A and B are shown apart, each in its own frame.
Chain A
Amino acid sequence: MIKHDGNQAPSAGIADLPEFDPDPALWTRIQRGHARRVIRRRLIRAGGFSASGAVVAIVILLGARGDFTGPSGTRDVTDGRFQSQALQNQSSAVVAGPQNEEVSVSVRRVDRELQMAYDQGADASRLRALWALRNQLLESLAREDGVRGLRLTRI
C-alpha cells in the first residue's frame, strides 16, 4: 500500500515500529551543557561590561566630585557619559550571544580609547566622538535583543 499526502494512517509495518527510550543520562548531559552555556554567557556579559562599567563609574564619580579635569565647555560630553551609563544599565539585561559578544569587544576597545583620551587630556570633540560611538554600540546591543522602551538623545 502506497500512501499519498494527507492525514492518513501510516502504512502497515511503519505504524508498528517500536519506540525506544533514550539513555537516562541524556537529560543530565543536556542540563550540564545548558548550565555551561549559561555560565559562559554570564562570563561574556560580565567580561564585556565590567571593564567598561568601571570606566563609566570612575568618570561619573570624578564628574560628581568636581575633580573632572576634562576640557571646559564639555556639557555635551557629560550628557554622553550619563547616557552611556543609562544604556549600560539597560544592557545588563541583554542576553549574550555571538553578535553581542562582538559588540561588547568593541565597547571594551572604545573604553580603552576613552581612558587614554582622558589620561591625555583630549579635547571635547574627541571625547564627544568616543562617547557617541560607545552609545551607538550599546544602543545597537539593546536593539539587537529587542530591549524596548529605550529612549536616546544623540550627542
Chain B
Amino acid sequence: MNSGFGIVLDAEILRQAQRGKNAAFDAIYRLYGRACYNLALRIVGEPAAAEDIVQDVFLRMMGSISKFRGDSPFGAWLKRMMVNSTIDVVRRNRRIDRADPEDHFAGLAAEGASAEVRVDAWNVLMRLTPRERAVVILHELEGYTHKELAQLFDQSESYSKSILARSLKRVVDSGQNLREEEEDTSHDQT
C-alpha cells in the first residue's frame, strides 16, 4: 500500500526509543511524521486539527513505546494509533463531522458537475465529509477492509461499501472532467 507507514523501523532505533532517547524519537518522527500528518489531514481536512492529532499520537507513542513488543511492525502499530485517534476526533467533533452521508451526497448531486470544473482529486476529497474521506483513504490507501471499517465506525459493511462507491465515483468523475477540459484547452491552443 502507498503509505509511509510501511517503512521498517531499525531495531536499534526502536531499542533506543524504548529507553527514552530523544534522538531515537527524532528519527521516528522523521520517518513517520509526514505519513501521520497526511493521514490525519486527508481525513479531518484541517491542518491545525491534523497537527493536534499527530502531536497527541506521538506523545502517547513516546509514553508507551516501552510496552511495544513488536508483535506487529512498528509502522502498523503507529498507524493504528493514528487511525483510532483521527476517527475519535471525527466522532467527537460535530463541526468536522457535520453531514449525514445521505444528505451530503444528495447535496453534491444537486450542485451538478459544473461546480467541479477545474477541481482536482484533493479538492473533491475535501468536499466529502470526514467520515466519507476516512472510508476512502483508509480503504484505498491504508489497506483497511470493509469489515475493519465497519468495526471502526460501528456500522455495517454495506455502509462503508456504499460510502466508498459513491465517494470514489465523485473523485474519479471529477478527475475525468478535469482531464477532458485540459485536453479541450490544449486542442484549442493548437
Contacts and interface: CB of A to CB of B under 8 A. Distances in A.
Contacts of A64: none
Chain B interface secondary structure, helix, strand, loop or mixed? helix
B168 A1 contact: yes
Interface in B105-143: 121-122, 124-125, 136-137, 139-141, 143
Interface in A4-41: 5, 7, 10-23, 26-27, 29-31, 33-34, 37-38
A34 B147 CA distance: 35
Contacts of B1: 7
Interface residues of B, number: 44
Chain A interface secondary structure, helix, strand, loop or mixed? loop
B144 to A, nearest CB: 9
Contacts of B137: 14
Contact of B29 (A15, A27, A33): A27
Interface of A: 1-3, 5, 7, 10-23, 26-27, 29-31, 33-34, 37-38, 95
The 9 closest A-B pairs by CB, nearest first: A13-B121, A22-B37, A13-B175, A13-B171, A10-B140, A5-B145, A14-B140, A30-B58, A2-B165
Given A2-B169, A17-B42, 10 more contacts: A2-B168, A7-B143, A11-B171, A12-B172, A13-B121, A20-B47, A22-B51, A29-B51, A30-B54, A37-B63
